[in-house]
Amino acid sequence: MVKKQGFTSLCVREIKENRTTQPHVLPIYATSSFSFSSIDEGMAIFKGDQQGHVYSRYGNPTIETVARKIALMESFDLDEDGECILFSSGMSAILTLMLSVLEPGHKILTQGNIYGGTTEQFDKILGKHGLSPVYTDLSDMAKLASLMAEDSAIRMVYLESPANPTLACLDLAALTEIAHKAGAYVCVDNTFCTPYLQRPLTHGVDFIVHSTTKYLNGHGNSTAGALVSIHTDLMKGPIWQAMKLAGTNCNPFDAWLLHNGMKTLPLRMDRHCANAMGLARFLESHPQISKVNYPGLESHPSHAIATQQMMDFGGMLSFEIKDGLEAGIAFMRKLKVASLAPTLGDIDTLVLHPASMSHINIDPEIRKENGISDGLIRLSVGIEDLGDLIDDLEQALS
């Protein structure tokens, strides 16, 4: 007879999974490590002779399944599938990319009208580690080509299109062609658009970064980031290694929440876009509004570019109230439907004041040069009834 183990041992040990059929929805693999069937299997996996999971910081079935879906979405128009790695946030995705593909002495060419946190990361972290940011107007192709021809240290062009919070759009194909001729990579933050509205890989872009916290998840209940590329050698090599060693990985629960959110992405984005266009047209005709930034408006400077490379114009807009900052503050205090929150992409409407919130640590002169005035208000338009949103803005402006 086989001797029974003690009761405590029974409590401690894992019992064989009692599953007879496949789950319909992706499970959460809430495990920090994975066990091997034998020492030989473990050695083979660690040597790289056999594929297998080891430790969730290295890889996890839930995380990798969700990453695979994002890769397929971003490379939907291509003959080859992209590769995706999920991170703890969009910021950690950017940092890991830069530290893994660039060397000290290299420079990052970027624009002044991007998310303030990204600018701070470039200036305060990467700059101190020998990766200097260079700020310029990326819409000026002649200037871009000249800068890159004069400085061979520029090895990465980083941009947002549309940009946060001015919604300025850039010609991705033209910009990428110039960068590649100079031997530089191009990385696009595609958070505002998601792959449903814009797929930068089709324009030759090398890397796409997402704060999946925003539209891809859509419900404001998880924090994560994604990096997508067709450079599988870099993704599976130095970038994965940097993620593993720096510990910038995503976790299974946030990946699972992201997975559930993405199932309704097209439905949500259609409504976001329709509501944003409705609010943009309402604000453009309002006597108290001096300027509206929305690429779907014919008056927007980037309208032609947005029409060419986006399937629709997104759910983000910004605007200026004629009486400036004080009027803007009074407006935000009176809102009843929209919420004041330092994020975007949720299903409900969110309002933010960039100069005192997302871009507070950016040099005021840089903000001013790039259209981020003290009176600018950013609106992440939700999926509520459009009439309710118009009524809310109307009463807050009156």
Q: Which residues are catalytic?
A: 57, 115, 189, 214
Distance, in Å, from the CA atom of 40 to the CA atom of 178, rounded to the nearest integer, reads 50
List, as one string, the DSSP characters of 113-125: SS-HHHHHHIIII
Q: Which residues contact 82 (CB under 8 A, 6 or more apart)?
A: 71, 72, 74, 75, 201, 228, 229, 230
Q: Which position has the token pair 């998310």?
A: 115
Residues in the chain: 398
Distance, in Å, from the CA atom of 357 to the CA atom of 108, rounded to the nearest integer, reads 25
Alpha helices in the chain (DSSP H): 7-12, 39-47, 61-74, 90-101, 116-121, 141-150, 172-181, 194-197, 232-234, 240-246, 252-262, 265-284, 303-309, 324-334, 364-369, 386-397
Taken in order 206, 212, 217, 219, is the CA torsion positive or negative? negative
Count the Cβ atoms, other than its own, within 10 Å of residue 48. 7
Q: Tokens at residue 374, please? A: 């003290």
Q: Which residues contact 361 (CB under 8 A, 6 or more apart)?
A: 116, 120
Q: Tokens at residue 22, please? A: 């496949």
